[in-house]
Amino acid sequence: MVDRITLARAGRTRAWFPTAYGVQLAAEWPEMRGHRPSRTVSDPIAVRLKAGHTLTVTETALVFLEDARRRGDVCRPLGWIPEVHHPAGSGEAVIPDALLYYRHGPADGDNGAMLGRSWRPTGPP
């Protein structure tokens, strides 16, 4: 269901990614309904080319998650969805690096404002 590559330039860090079969299985999870994975998500060459950028996006997600917990807000791991396809009409699409769902306010109450934002880093990956 998963495979890995070793990134020589990143201190031999291993990057894990789903195989085509892993993508097929994950697509059946209720949490993944309505989400379309990238066609290259299980391609080892594409994974190697995007690994640095993907790690930056993932590290950013973890910072949001940790800060939300520190503040008592709600930001769950599945509230950070990478590479969301947004049709823009005429066959065009916008694909931000991630879509963030974050609830400002206490986790046990429903009086907090739910925020949704697309995120794309600036500068080099």
For the stretch 67-106, pLDDT in tens is: 888 888 877 777 888 877 778 888 888 888 888 877 776 6
SS3 2: strand
What global pTM score does this model have?
0.56
Rounded Cα distance between 89 and 34, Å, is: 18
- Residue, of 36 and 19, whose pLDDT is higher: 19
For the stretch 104-118, pLDDT in tens is: 766 555 565 655 555
How many residues does this entry show for the chain?
125
Residue 124's pLDDT is what? 46
Give the 3-state DSSP-derived string for 9-68, with helices as H, strands as E and coil as C.
HHCCEEEEEECHHHHHHHCCCHHHCCCCCCCCCCCHHHHHHHHHHHHHHHHHHHHHHHHH
